[in-house]
Amino acid sequence: MRIDPIQLEPKSEIVYDYRYHFENIKEKFDYSPHEEATWLSRWKDLQERSFKRAELTEVLQKMNDQWQAPSSAFQSIERLKDGEATVAIAGQQAGLLTGPLYTVNKVISILQSARQQQERLNKPVIPVFWIAGEDHDFEEINHVFLKGKERLNKITIGQRPEYKSSVSDLEIDQDEAEEWLQKVFSAVGETEVTSDFFEETLLALRQSKSYADFFARLIYLLFPDQGLVIVDAHHPELRQLESSYFQQLLEENQVLSQGVYAAVQQSKQQGYHVSLDSEPEDAHLFYHQGNDRVLLMRDDEFNFRGKNNEVVFTKEELKQIAASSPERLSNNVVTRPLMQELVFPVLSFIGGPGEIGYWSVLRPAFQALELKMPPILPRLSFTFIDRKSEQQLNRLQIDPVECIRKGTGERRLRWLSSMTSVPLEKMSEELKGELDKLHLPLRETAAELGGDMESLANQNLQRLYQDIDFLKKRIFKAREEKYELELKSFTDLDLLLHPEGGLQERKWSILPWVNTYGVDFFNRVDGHHFSFEHAHYVVYV
């Protein structure tokens, strides 16, 4: 396994400044991730706060018992009782087969961050993965993409939930899920790994009640020994622990929501695009009514009501619900980081580009609760290249970095045009130029005759041009057919390194990599040291 760091320019202006010009946006954050002194300073700040460590570890033990988590997870949970222990944390939706590759990239980031900070501070740092179980957009997680002949194929599970339930509440339709799993594994080639991995995945599925359960079991299958701790943010017992924190969010709701709204507006004025919808009256909380999740707003009387008036509560009524039935409440993208901060002693939060964007407007919300926003580490990003693809890159003399950035489209056209001594495009343009000269006397004669003749002559020239273009396309198509095998290499490389115009980690599933290299593949990747100073790594396997 060879690993090379590469430079990829962030598409987001705010992420670019966060990485390379932090001084431009430092007022949006409480700590700089680029300063060595940050980590000790943050650890000392956490020592001045109190956490429900005993209650939290009890909830984590019960939750992980349900998932039959490995012993390393329970050892980490026990270490969390230590008053000096902190966590490196990140979260994600519960995607099928763990979702796109960036999910396991995020897990590796957590593990790397925890180890590095523990060594730096000589204090316990626990890696924690937070499943966003309260998320309810099933269409975002109900599929995987797998490589087809010329494109990635989207394979979607057949289950169609009747209600927009949170993923942790949505019970798996086992028949639909097993049929989907069979279809997904049939889409990859049979290897010595396939049968065992399918059986392990099928067992995890049958032991799981919800998609969050299935997700947790698979993550532990991939990372069994590193002491990773998984927590389902929507677990009822965790909600009980969060009761007083929900009351705090309700008490300071107006201040925090108006602060976030103002921060969003300020960012827009500064030229930063933040993908966060925010209005001053947003409560940034959900109320669970039956099988539905109701987004709450504050009205002019400072009551909390559903966005479509499904429910209405006074603040005191909703605080009473938080006290007696906190499982009926959940967080949105704004309050989830706050709840994470209240529950865990967060030494570092690991975020992707989108998360860094919306966290940049959350400082007022943290200040409303008299909290500091934790240091944010941009997560590690990887592109995996198998041996065959590396050989294709070498044979076609394609720079892998160029392919990751832009794909193979331009190189493919240049290569195909180079297969004759005279480039086809140049040949056709020169022919049009000569034809224009030869046709000129006809056009001049037609112009002298007046009437519609000049127009007719010009139309005639355009038809001749069209015939040349038609012939050029037919020649190009015939050439493509002649060099079909070579062109397939360009297509395959594009699908691998720049699928649908983006990074591999945004589309590809873990399945092809595990199916080829074994269940411990990502575990072995994590065995290497990665610096968070680099934005992206190419892993040759």
Q: What is the pLDDT of residue 480?
A: 63
**Consecutive 10-residue averages of pLDDT for the chain (541 residues):** 92 93 96 95 97 98 97 98 98 95 97 97 97 88 92 95 82 96 95 97 97 97 97 95 97 96 95 90 93 90 91 96 95 95 98 94 97 97 97 92 92 74 71 86 85 87 90 75 75 95 96 97 97 95 95
What is the predicted pLDDT for the residue at 166?
A: 82
Neighbours of 462 (CB within 10 A): 9
pLDDT for residue 305: 95
Tokens of 540: 């040759």
Give 70's contacts (C-beta < 8 A, 6+ positions apart).
220, 224, 225
Map residue 129 onto helix, strand or coil: strand
CA dihedral 113, 115, 118, 122 (to 10 degrees): -150
- Length, in residues, of the chain: 541
Residue with tokens 């590690």: 380
Specify if 416 maps to a domain.
Answer: yes
* Residue 437 domain flag: yes
Q: Which amino acid is it at 538?
A: V
How much is the pLDDT for 168?
87
**Is 419 within a domain?**
yes
H helices, E strands: number in the chain: 23, 15
Tally Cβ neighbours within 10 Å of residue 148. Answer: 11
User: Does some domain include residue 481?
Assistant: yes
Q: Is residue 444 included in any domain, yes or no?
A: yes
489, part of any domain? yes
Could you tell me if residue 498 is inside a domain? Answer: yes
**At residue 207, what is the residue type?**
Q
Distance (Å, whole) CA 102 – CA 121: 28
What span, in angstroms and rounded, lies between the C-alpha atoms of 378 and 113? 11
Residue at 43 is within a domain? no
Residue-number span of the structural domain to which 455 is assigned: 405-503
> From the CB of residue 272, how many other CB atoms can be counted at a distance below 10 Å?
20
Q: Hey, how many other C-beta atoms are within 10 angstroms of the C-beta on 104?
A: 27
96: helix, strand or coil: helix
pLDDT for residue 521: 98
Question: Which spans in 344-452 are helix H?
Answer: 353-359, 363-368, 387-395, 400-406, 409-417, 424-449
Q: Which residues pair with 6 in a beta bridge?
A: 536
- Residue 321, pLDDT score: 97
Tally of structural domains, the chain: 1
Q: Which amino acid makes up residue 216?
A: A
DSSP 8-state assignment for residue 374:
P
